[in-house]
Amino acid sequence: MADISMKNLVKQFDGFKAVDDISLDIADGEFMILVGPSGCGKSTLLRMIVGLEDITSGELMIDGERVNERAPRDRNLAMVFQNYALYPHLTVYENIAFPLRLAKRPDEEVDERVRHAADVLELNEQLDRKPATLSGGQRQRVAMGRAIVREASAFLFDEPLSNLDAKLRAQMRTEISRLQKRLGVTTVYVTHDQVEAMTLGDRVAVMRRGVLQQVATPRELYESPVNLFVAGFIGSPSMNFIPANVTDEGLQTPFGTVQLPDDRMGDMNGHEFVVIGARPEHFEDAEVVDDALRDHGTTFDVTVDVLEWLGSEQFAYVPYEAPDEVAAHLDELAKELEAEELHTQLIVSLDVTSRLAEGETATLWLDLRKVQLFDPKTGDNLTLAGDRHRAPEPRGTNGG
Amino acid sequence: MAAERSNPKQTALWWIAGALIVLYALFPVAWIVSLSLRSPSDIAQNRFLPGGVTWANYENILVGGAQDLFLSALRNSIGIVLIATLIAVVLSTFAAYAIARLDFPGKRIILTTALAVAIFPVISIVTPLFNLWRTIGLYDTWPGLIIPYLSLTVPISIWTMSAFFRQIPWDLELAAQVDGATTWQAFRKVIVPLAAPGVFTTAILAFFIAWNDFVYGISLTASEAARPVPAALAFFTGASQFEMPTGPIAAAAVIVTIPVVVLVLVFQRRIVSGLTQGAVKG
C-alpha cells in the first residue's frame, strides 16, 4: 500500500517530449486511470513509474521516498503487461510463484500464497498447465495472479484488456474492479478505452501529446471537461461541436441564433467566435419533449440523414454546413481523437418513442442548460472558466 | 494443409517426391557403407552391392594396423571439436544477447564483421596461420586448432543466436525485472530457458562445422598429437604401395558420421519451435 506522487515528470526521446511536465498525486488505495489516444505518453508514464523507462527530469515519490534512481525490482510494484508476458517455460503455478521464488521465500509460504491467489482468480484447475494451453482470459488472470501474490505497494496495468474479445473484456473489467476494491491496493491503469476509464477509475487522468489535460472523477470529466480535447475524448458518441459567432442577439449557429442561460456563458470579451459543445443526449425530438422542459432549450429544424434505432436508444445523424476554418479545426480535433466522424454533423440521441424518419425534416430541441462553450483557438472551456470566475472557490477539477 | 491431406493424388505425389529426395540424399552414404564392407579386391568390381560382407576394414582401423592413426585422430577430433563448440556457444550466447537487446555503438560493425569472417575463404589464411602458429608454438596442438575453429563457428553462432533472441518477447525480461529479478537473474531464469532450442541448434551447427573441417586439420597439424579424423584419413595407406586404402577410409568415414547422426537424433527433441508460444498474446 502506498501513495505515488509525480512532480514535473519529463521523458525526452531525442528532442521529442513523450511525457511533458506531469504532476500527479495518486492517493493510497486509489484507482487512477491514465487515458488518452495512442501516442499520448500514457504507457511511457506508466513505465517511468515502474522503472522500465528512465526519468529525464522531475521527481517520482512512492510512499514519500524518491525512487527515480531505483531499479524496477527495488520499487516493489507489480505490473500486468498488455501482452501478459507470462513465462512460457513455467507452469501457471510457477508463473505466479516467480516473484516469491526470486525473493527466496520458504516453500510453504510460496505454496500458501500461490494457492490463495489461485483461489481469488479461480485458477485452481489450471495450476499445472503451461501458458500456451490457456485461453486469453486465463492468461490474463495468471498475469494478475503474478501481481497480487507479492503484496506489492501498487499495481500497474498497461492496457490489460485490449487483447481480449468484447465479452471477455467486460467480464474481466468487472473482475479487476472487484479485485482492486477487495485488496484496496493503489492502482494505476493505462487504457485508451473510455468505457474502462469511466467505469473503473476513482479518478481519470486524460493525457494528450504528453501533457496532462485534466484529472477528475469520471462524472466531472463528462460534465465539466476543461477543454475541447477532453470534451471530445470522453463520451461515446462524442460531444457535438457546433460553431457559433458571438453577436449582440446571442450566439449565431448554423441552426439559428440562441441565447444561452447566464451560467453557461463565460467571459465573452474578445471572443467573436466560439464552439458550443452539446452531448447527444442534450438533444431531443421536439415533439416528445416535456412541456415543463421545453422553455429551457431552443428548437430548430433539420433534415435527418441517418437514423440508428438500437432498442433502448436511437441516434440521428444530422449533417450541417460549417465555415471552412471551423471545419478544418474540427477535422483536426477528430483526427487526434481517432474519431471517424470527419465531416460536420450532429449526432443526437432521441427518445425511442420518437417517430422521426430518415430524409425528413424534423424539429429538434437542445437543452441549453447543459451545453458548454469552448474557445476554438485555445480549446479552453469558457463555461467552466466563467464558473470559476463567478464562484470564489475553484472546483477541484485539476486536483493533483 | 488440410486440403492437401484430403486429396489422395496430391498425397501420393508428395510421397514420391519425398522418396526421391531421400534416395538422392542417402545414396552416397549407402555407397560408403557398401565400400566399407568390401574386401580390397571386391572394391575394384564396378557394382553397388558388396560381393561378400567383410568387417576387415573396421578391424583394420579399430584394432588393426591403422589403429594408432585412427583412434588418436578420433580422440583429437572429439576433444577439439567439443571444446571449440562449447566456447563458441557460450561466447555467442552472450554476444548475441547483447546484440539483440542492447543498444551500443558499433553493433552493426560487429554483425557485419561476423558475416565477413564467416564468408572469408579459409584457404587464404591457412598459410599465414601456419607460419604464425609455428613461431608462437601453437602448431600441432589442440589450442592451435580450437582457435581457428572458433573463427569458423563463432560468427555463424552469433547470427543464429541473435535471431533466436530477437524472437523472445522483450516484455518477458521486463516482467521478470519488475517481479524482482536482477538483469542476470532475468537472463538466467527467463531468457536462457527460452533460448535453449536456439542454443542447441547453434551447438549442432558449430559442431558440424568444426567436425567437418579438413583444411585447418591437415595444415596446422603434423602428428597424432592434434590431427583430427578428416585429416588423418589422408594418411591412411593401403596394404601395399600399389593398393588404394579405399576400404579403411570408407570404414572411418562411416564411424565419424555416427556422432553426427547421434547428435541430431538426441537433440532433435530439443530443437522444437514454438516454445515461446503462449508467452504473449498468440
Q: For residue range B240-274, what is the model confidence (pLDDT) as tens digits?
A: 666 778 888 888 888 888 878 887 777 766 655 44
First to last CA, chain B: 20
Residue A36 pLDDT: 87
Q: Do A102 and B180 touch (CB under 8 A)?
A: yes
Model-level pTM? 0.74
Distance CA B92, CA B138 (A): 24
Q: Residue A50: exposed, middle, or buried by beta-carbon count in 10 A (0-12, 13-18, 19+)?
A: buried
Q: Find chain B residues with C-beta within 8 A of A98's C-beta.
A: 176, 179, 189
Tell whether A179 and A110 lie within a shared domain: yes
Q: Which of A236, A228, A240, A163 is nearest to A194 (CA)?
A: A236
Distance CA A386, CA B118 (A): 73
Q: In this model, does residue A369 exceed pLDDT 80?
A: yes
Give the residue ranges of DSSP H helices in chain A: 42-50, 92-102, 107-121, 136-148, 166-183, 194-200, 218-223, 228-233, 291-294, 324-336, 382-390
Q: Is B212 helix (H, G, I), strand (E, B) or coil?
A: coil
Q: Do B171 and A81 touch (CB under 8 A)?
A: yes
The residue type found at B17 is A
pLDDT band at A387 (very low <50, low <70, confident <90, very high): low
Tell whether A135 and A282 lie within a shared domain: no
Tell whether A303 and A179 lie within a shared domain: no
Q: Which of A171, A193, A223 is the last residue of a domain?
A: A223
Mean pLDDT of chain A: 83
Tell whether A13 and A121 lie within a shared domain: yes
CATH code linked to domain B72-235: 1.10.3720.10
Q: In this model, does residue A68 exceed pLDDT 50?
A: yes
Q: Is A372 helix (H, G, I), strand (E, B) or coil?
A: strand
Residues A149-160, mean pLDDT to the nearest whole number = 87
Q: Do A83 and B277 touch (CB under 8 A)?
A: no
Q: In this model, does residue B96 exceed pLDDT 70?
A: yes
Residues A56-75, mean pLDDT to the nearest whole number = 86
pLDDT band at B2 (very low <50, low <70, confident <90, very high): very low
Q: Do B175 and A71 touch (CB under 8 A)?
A: no
Residue boundaries of the structural domains of chain B: 72-235
Q: Which of A80, A77, A62, A65 is nearest to A25 (CA)?
A: A62
Tell whether A259 and A367 lie within a shared domain: yes
State whether residue A54 sits within 8 Å of chain B by CB: no
Query: pLDDT tens across A223-251, in order?
Result: 888 888 888 888 878 888 888 888 877 88
Tell whether A317 and A190 lie within a shared domain: no
DSSP string, A177-220: HHHHHHHT-EEEEEES-HHHHHHH-SEEEEEETTEEEEEE-HHH
Torsions phi, psi of A123, nearest 5?
-115, 10
Residue B275 pLDDT: 45
Q: Do B174 and A85 touch (CB under 8 A)?
A: yes
State the residue range of the domain holding A180. 4-223
By Cβ distance, the residue of A71, A85, A139 closest to B175 is: A85
State whether residue A83 sits within 8 Å of chain B by CB: yes
Q: In this model, does residue B276 exceed pLDDT 60?
A: no
Report how many Cβ contacts below 8 Å link chain A to chain B: 87
- The strand pairing partners of A10, in sequence order, are A57
Tell whether A212 and A340 lie within a shared domain: no
Residue A336 pLDDT: 66
Residues B211-234, mean pLDDT to the nearest whole number = 86
Q: Which of A223, A257, A283 is the last residue of a domain?
A: A223
Q: How many CB atoms lie within 10 A of CB A229?
A: 24
By Cβ distance, the residue of A77, A85, A98 closest to B279 is: A85
The residue type found at A393 is E
Q: Which three cell numbers stand for residue A102?
A: 526470486
Residue A1 pLDDT: 65
pLDDT band at A386 (very low <50, low <70, confident <90, very high): low
- How many structural domains does chain A have? 2
Instruction: Provide the chain A residues 217-276 that lie in CB contact (below 8 A) with chain B.
Output: none
Residue B269 pLDDT: 65
Which of A53, A81, A94 is best to mutate for the B interface (most B CBs within 10 A)?
Answer: A81
Q: Give percent of chain A with pLDDT exceeding 90.
A: 2
Gap from B96 CA to chain A (nearest CA, Å) = 21
Phi-psi region of A52 (alpha: psi -120 to 50; beta: other; left: phi over 0): alpha
- Kindly give, in sequence order, each residue whose CB lies less than 8 Å from that of residue B158, ignoring residues fewer than 6 positions away: B92, B95, B96, B99, B110, B111, B114
Query: pLDDT tens across A256-289, in order?
Result: 888 777 777 777 777 778 888 889 888 888 888 8
Q: In this model, does residue B14 exceed pLDDT 90?
A: yes
Q: In this model, does residue A342 exceed pLDDT 60?
A: no
With the C-alpha atoms ordered A207, A208, A213, A214, is the resulting torsion angle positive or negative?
negative
Q: Do B178 and A71 touch (CB under 8 A)?
A: no
CATH code for the domain of A377: 2.40.50.140
CATH code for the domain of A197: 3.40.50.300
Query: pLDDT tens across A389-400, in order?
Result: 554 444 444 433
Poorest-confidence range of A8-12, A71-75, B13-17, B62-66? B62-66
Q: How many CB atoms lie within 10 A of CB B178?
A: 31
Q: In this model, does residue B159 exceed pLDDT 90?
A: no
Contact in structure between A26 and A210 (CB atoms under 8 Å): no
Q: Do A84 and B281 touch (CB under 8 A)?
A: yes
Query: pLDDT tens across B167-215, in order?
Result: 888 888 888 888 888 888 888 888 888 888 788 888 888 888 888 888 8
Q: Which of A158, A193, A223 is the last residue of a domain?
A: A223
pLDDT: which is higher, A366 or B60 = A366
Tell whether A259 and A238 lie within a shared domain: yes
Q: Which three cell numbers stand for residue A373?
A: 462553450
Tell whether A177 and A204 lie within a shared domain: yes
Tell whether A88 and A233 lie within a shared domain: no
With the C-alpha atoms ordered B40, B42, B46, B48, is the resulting torsion angle positive or negative?
negative
By Cβ distance, the residue of A83, A84, A89 closest to B193 is: A89
Tell whether A82 and A198 lie within a shared domain: yes
Q: Is B143 helix (H, G, I), strand (E, B) or coil?
A: helix
